[in-house]
């Protein structure tokens, strides 16, 4: 190529080299500008990492430190399974929580205004959830807890570890035709109650049978279908197949756990979590297991307190905030509530493989073992901030009841390996006998309440579960005291039966007294109602199983006749306002626990003992059967001496 010479430029080519350098520098400058501009407009570095790094190279996102259960849950997600898989009840750790049936085993809608009204979560009127100071929840875990190790539980292995088939040889059919006829009547009552719920209140929490509509209430934080969840196991064991399938389909298609409401921790646990767990263990349907663990995860933020004692009210939504009942003294938590979580939470750990649930309830037990107990008794109010008792009010009825129930049942459910629960139960029972058990002038044994050293000679309907409780624990105390405990159980059950027989309707009042010349009788107008409660019938069932004394079946039949005569209305069953009135006034509420407990215990009372045998099953405080955890059998692959088959 021939280059033309430029005028005034020497042939040496110096001018040409300078222009080449200028062009090169101009090009380089543009390139640099382009690169910086591209970086400016690119996404952030985290996105760049996703482009250039594989998933295994990325670092996990961590959440700041905090005391909340959600952070604990994240920690467990990162721990090796062989180090942290605690599954089940371990002795020498801690215990539990309760049947409020909102603030105790079964809500006491009480005469003592706010205090007993929520005690037990079974109020006949709609409960309110007043706040004390809300406890902020830590940031929610983004990865779902309920997916962790969910494949570690083997249902077939579990069934091989049962001593007998859950439904018995012939679904518990009694050999006596008269007893079978009575059992069939109870089954008909269940179908009648269910059919009317389905017709007039389907998907709502409870049926209002007089007005033929549904009731939602505010105990469950926006959850729906309490009567459906509470009925699953009852329908199944009664062989009401079509009705059970309808309930199952509703759980599959309509049970929405993504509520953002404010719920009773106690009530959601015993009814929803307990009902789903029981349905899973009886049927093997994975749906129930998934939903139970998913709901259990939503309850964990309630434990986000300085002591780990959960607050009574929890927001089930994304905020996860919790607070104490506004009526509870000094923002305290209730013994029957935080003491009635143990059975369900241990099984949540069993099914999920996540030890956090067991650790939460063991922490409660650990704290209770540390603090001083007046005269060996457990008061009903405890501060979740300081860990100290707030008031010295002790009751085996509302506010306290199911705490004691869960101690002995934790021991039994652990295949009698949880020695700590056993020790706590018998120590508490000794203190109760020494301070609360009384004998009336007429020879009736009852459990009084203790208010700072002063006895209140009142016994609530809720406390009548204690006959059965003392009975099932009789074999495991000191051998020389076995008959003593059976006698005590029989005496308490007899007293509660007397509270029924001394009323015009043959149904028992909410509370009855032993002072001012009265015995086993309600002396206050505010104590005279009956809201379809199961506790007396519950003790009949246990005492029948333990003694086979025919009087318990006769007493149960008396209750059936009274329910039919006074509580059955055109469209369901309703509680009554005054058990002493011959002209009955109804409260227009078919409680979900009537389907879960009252009718189930009556059905079991008139069934053979091999229907849900007590060697294999414990009943939570809502009467949902949960299996005994035989860890050695499960670890060995399910090799009991006896195997079962449906």
Please state which of the ranges 27-41, 54-68, 137-151, 270-284 shows the lowest mean pLDDT: 54-68
Report the percent of the chain where pLDDT is more than 90.
72
CB 631 within 8 A of CB 412: no
pTM for this structure? 0.81
pLDDT score at 516: 86
Report the alpha-carbon distance of residue 559 to residue 182 in Å, rounded: 12
pLDDT score at 41: 40
pLDDT score at 634: 81
| DSSP assigned state of 613 | -
Based on DSSP, count helices (H) and strands (E) in the chain, helices before strands.
24, 19
DSSP states along 284-312: --HHHHHHHHHHHHHHGGGG-SSSSPPPS
DSSP states along 244-282: HHHHHHHHHHT-------EEEHHHIIIIIIHHHHHHHHH
pLDDT score at 406: 98
List the structure tokens of 186: 């109870």
Helix/strand/coil for 397: coil
Q: pLDDT (tens digit, 9 = 90+) per residue, 293-326? A: 999 999 999 999 999 999 999 999 988 999 999 9
Report the alpha-carbon distance of residue 456 to residue 436 in Å, rounded: 9
Q: Which residue has the higher pLDDT, 216 or 111?
A: 216
Query: Which stretches does DSSP call E strand in 461-596?
Result: 511-513, 568-569, 572-573
pLDDT score at 284: 97
CB 566 within 8 A of CB 507: yes
**Residue 498: CB atoms within 10 Å:** 19
pLDDT at 112 > cutoff 90: no
Contacts of 314 (CB under 8 A, 6+ apart): 221, 262, 263, 265, 268, 298, 299, 301, 302, 320, 321, 322
Q: pLDDT (tens digit, 9 = 90+) per residue, 511-523? A: 999 998 899 999 9
Please state which of the ranges 131-140, 179-188, 373-382, 497-506 shows the lowest mean pLDDT: 131-140
Q: For the chain, give every domain's residue range.
A: 69-635
Q: Which residue has the higher pLDDT, 137 or 248?
A: 248
pLDDT at 232 > cutoff 50: yes
Report the percent of the chain where pLDDT is more than 70.
75
**Which residue in this structure is represented by tokens 């934080």?**
221
Q: pLDDT (tens digit, 9 = 90+) per residue, 541-566? A: 999 999 999 999 999 999 999 999 99
Q: Stretch 355-374: mean pLDDT, rounded? A: 98
Report the alpha-carbon distance of residue 343 to residue 95 in Å, rounded: 9
Q: Which of 248, 214, 208, 210 is nearest to 228 (CA)?
A: 248
What H or E segment, with its residue span, contains residue 451? strand 449-451
pLDDT at 286 > cutoff 70: yes
Q: pLDDT (tens digit, 9 = 90+) per residue, 471-511? A: 999 999 889 999 999 999 999 999 999 999 999 999 999 99
Q: Stretch 231-251: mean pLDDT, rounded? A: 98
- Residue 469 half-sphere exposure, CB side, CA atoms within 13 Å? 30
Backbone angles phi, psi at 221, to 5 degrees: 60, 35
Terminal-residue alpha carbon distance, the chain = 99
pLDDT score at 31: 64
pLDDT score at 639: 58
What H or E segment, with its residue span, contains residue 487? helix 482-501
Q: pLDDT (tens digit, 9 = 90+) per residue, 77-101? A: 333 333 333 223 333 333 333 333 4
pLDDT score at 125: 39
pLDDT score at 132: 57
List the structure tokens of 143: 């990865």
Average pLDDT of the residues of the chain: 83
CB 226 within 8 A of CB 594: no
Report the alpha-carbon distance of residue 349 to residue 427 in Å, rounded: 28
pLDDT score at 135: 55
DSSP states along 30-82: HHHHHHHHHHHHSPPHHHHHHHHS-GGGSPPP-----SSHHHHHHHHHHS-HH
Catalytic residue among 135, 262, 294, 510: 510
Check if 510 is active-site: yes
Q: Stretch 350-354: mean pLDDT, rounded? A: 97
pLDDT at 386 > cutoff 80: yes
Q: Which residue has the higher pLDDT, 86 or 155?
A: 155
Q: pLDDT (tens digit, 9 = 90+) per residue, 28-55? A: 666 655 554 544 443 333 332 322 223 2
Q: Identify the burial level of 440 via C-beta atoms within 10 angstroms of its C-beta, where 0-12 means exposed, 13-18 middle and 19 or more buried.
A: middle
Q: Stretch 274-295: mean pLDDT, rounded? A: 98
CATH code for the structural domain at 69-635: 1.50.10.10
Please state which of the ranges 207-216, 538-547, 563-572, 634-643 shows the lowest mean pLDDT: 634-643
Q: pLDDT (tens digit, 9 = 90+) per residue, 412-423? A: 999 999 999 999
Report the alpha-carbon distance of residue 313 to residue 39 in Å, rounded: 50
pLDDT score at 511: 98
């Amino acid at each position: 190529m021939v280059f033309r010479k430029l005028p005034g430029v020497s042939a040496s080519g110096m001018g040409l080299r300078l222009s080449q350098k200028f062009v090169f520098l101009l090009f380089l400058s543009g390139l640099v500008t382009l690169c910086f501009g591209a970086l400016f407009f690119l996404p952030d570095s985290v996105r760049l990492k996703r482009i250039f790094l594989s998933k295994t190279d990325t670092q996990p996102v961590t959440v700041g430190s905090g005391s909340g259960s959600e952070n604990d849950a994240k920690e467990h997600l990162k721990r090796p399974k062989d180090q942290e898989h605690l599954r089940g009840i371990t002795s020498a750790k801690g215990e539990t929580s309760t049947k409020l049936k909102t603030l105790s085993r079964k809500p006491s809608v009480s005469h003592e205004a706010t205090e007993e009204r929520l005690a037990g979560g079974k109020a006949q009127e709609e409960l309110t959830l007043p706040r004390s100071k809300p406890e902020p929840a830590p940031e929610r875990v983004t990865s779902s807890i309920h997916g962790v190790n969910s494949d570690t539980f083997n249902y077939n292995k579990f069934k091989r570890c049962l001593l007998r088939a859950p439904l018995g040889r012939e679904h518990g059919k009694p050999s006596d035709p008269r007893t079978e006829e009575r059992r069939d009547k109870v089954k008909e009552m269940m179908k009648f109650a269910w059919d009317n719920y389905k017709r007039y209140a389907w998907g709502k929490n409870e049926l209002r049978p007089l007005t033929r509509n549904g009731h939602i209430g505010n105990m469950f934080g926006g959850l729906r279908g309490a009567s459906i969840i509470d009925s699953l196991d009852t329908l199944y064991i009664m062989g009401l197949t079509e009705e059970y399938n309808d309930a199952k389909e509703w759980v599959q298609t309509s049970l929405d756990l993504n509520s953002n409401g404010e719920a009773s921790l106690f009530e959601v646990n015993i009814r929803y979590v307990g009902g789903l767990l029981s349905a899973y263990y009886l049927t093997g349907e994975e749906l129930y297991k998934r939903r139970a663990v998913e709901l259990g995860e939503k309850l964990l933020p309630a434990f986000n307190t300085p002591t780990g004692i959960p607050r009574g009210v929890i927001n089930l939504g994304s905020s996860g905030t919790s607070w104490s009942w506004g009526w509870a003294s000094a923002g305290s938590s209730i013994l029957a509530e935080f003491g009635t979580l143990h059975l369900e939470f241990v099984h949540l750990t069993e099914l999920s493989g996540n030890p956090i649930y067991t650790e939460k309830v063991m922490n409660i037990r650990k704290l209770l073992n540390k603090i001083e107990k007046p005269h060996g008794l457990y008061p009903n109010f405890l501060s979740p901030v300081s860990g100290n008792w707030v008031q010295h009010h002790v009751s085996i009825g509302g506010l306290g009841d199911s705490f004691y129930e869960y101690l002995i049942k934790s021991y039994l459910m652990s295949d009698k390996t949880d020695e700590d629960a056993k020790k706590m139960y018998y120590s508490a029972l000794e203190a109760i006998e020494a301070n609360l058990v009384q004998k009336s002038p007429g020879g009736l044994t009852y459990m009084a309440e203790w208010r700072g050293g002063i006895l209140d000679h009142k016994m609530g309907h809720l406390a009548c579960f204690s006959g059965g409780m003392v009975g099932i624990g009789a074999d495991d105390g000191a051998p020389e005291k076995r008959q003593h405990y059976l006698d005590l159980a029989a005496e308490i059950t007899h007293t509660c039966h007397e509270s029924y027989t001394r009323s015009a309707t043959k149904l028992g009042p909410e509370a009855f007294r032993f002072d001012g010349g009265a015995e086993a009788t309600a002396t206050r107008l505010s104590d005279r109602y009956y809201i379809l409660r199961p506790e007396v019938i519950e003790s009949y069932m246990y005492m029948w199983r333990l003694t086979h004394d025919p009087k318990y079946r006769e007493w149960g039949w008396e209750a059936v006749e009274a329910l039919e005569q006074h509580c059955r209305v055109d469209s369901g069953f309703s509680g009554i306002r005054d058990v002493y009135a011959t002209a009955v006034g109804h409260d227009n509420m078919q409680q979900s626990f009537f389907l879960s407990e009252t009718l189930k215990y009556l059905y079991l009372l008139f069934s053979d003992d091999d229907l849900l045998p007590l060697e294999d099953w414990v009943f939570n405080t809502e009467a949902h059967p949960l299996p005994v955890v035989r860890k050695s059998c499960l670890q060995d692959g399910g090799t009991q001496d006896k195997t079962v088959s449906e």
